[in-house]
Amino acid sequence: MIAYETNAKRRDRQLGLVPATDVDRAKDFYTDKAGFDLDVDHRAGDDFRVVQLTPPGSACSISVGKGITKTAPGSVEGLHVVVTDIVAARDELVGRGADVGEIFHLGESGQAPGPHPERADHGAFASFSDPDGNTWVLGGQPKRDGRVTRPVEPTDDIAAAIAGYERAFAALTER
């Protein structure tokens, strides 16, 4: 008999659908400009195609395609890619030809230019869009003690977590 260790509380996001007008254009953007890895490009007739792409090192992928979602292209906002060095990540995207906004952080007085002065976890951001206008946010999360921290630390204070996300989203939409 084989015993499997389970954790009924664990939930990992594996895939998100990103609507696209032109699948080839989206595939080229995500592989060439955003640097995502191409995992799958599958067609099943003229009305179905799925292209799965994954940011390097990520456990969560995206899919663009035809016949995979009814969501309008350009309607997805605020997808996050967490990086350990936001300056290097932004520079790489710009070097690949992506149009990436300037880095900013949230200070005591609101949004301020540049990385967080203390390189605080989730303290700096930069945004970019795909060709259809779906928006992405680079979120800086530096290493601590030689390891990368989890993207979101568990908390029982749901109200504080929601307020933090609302502040970050409000700052991003001011841009």
Thinking of the domain 13-71, which architecture would CATH place it in?
Roll (3.10)
Query: What does the pLDDT look like over 90-120, one tens digit per residue?
Result: 999 999 999 999 999 988 888 889 888 877 6
CA neighbor of 20 nearest in space, from 110, 127, 134: 134
Task: Locate 8 and state its tokens.
Answer: 């009924």
Residue 14 is predicted with a pLDDT of 80
Which range among 23-37, 53-67, 80-94, 147-161 shows the weakest confidence by mean pLDDT? 147-161
- Whether 77-175 and 13-71 are alike in CATH topology: the answer is yes
Is residue 90 within 8 A of residue 53, CB to CB? The reply is no
What distance in Å separates the CA atoms of residue 90 and residue 57, rounded to the nearest whole number? 16
In order of 30, 46, 147, the CA distances from 103 in angstroms are 20, 41, 23
Q: How many CB atoms lie within 10 A of CB 140?
A: 24
DSSP state of 77: -
Domain ranges of the chain: 13-71, 77-175
Share of the chain above pLDDT 70, in %: 71
Burial label for 103, CB within 10 Å (0-12, 13-18, 19+), is buried
What is the band of 164 on the pLDDT scale with cuts at 50, 70, 90? low
CA neighbor of 112 nearest in space, from 121, 102, 99: 102
- Right CATH for 77-175 from 3.30.1490, 3.30.70, 3.10.180, 3.30.450: 3.10.180
Residue 15 is predicted with a pLDDT of 87
Is residue 56 within 8 A of residue 35, CB to CB? The reply is yes
* Chain centre to alpha carbon of residue 36: 11
User: b or e along 44-53 (b: 16 or more beta carbons within 10 Å of the residue's beta carbon)?
Assistant: eeeeebbbbb
Residue 148 is predicted with a pLDDT of 43
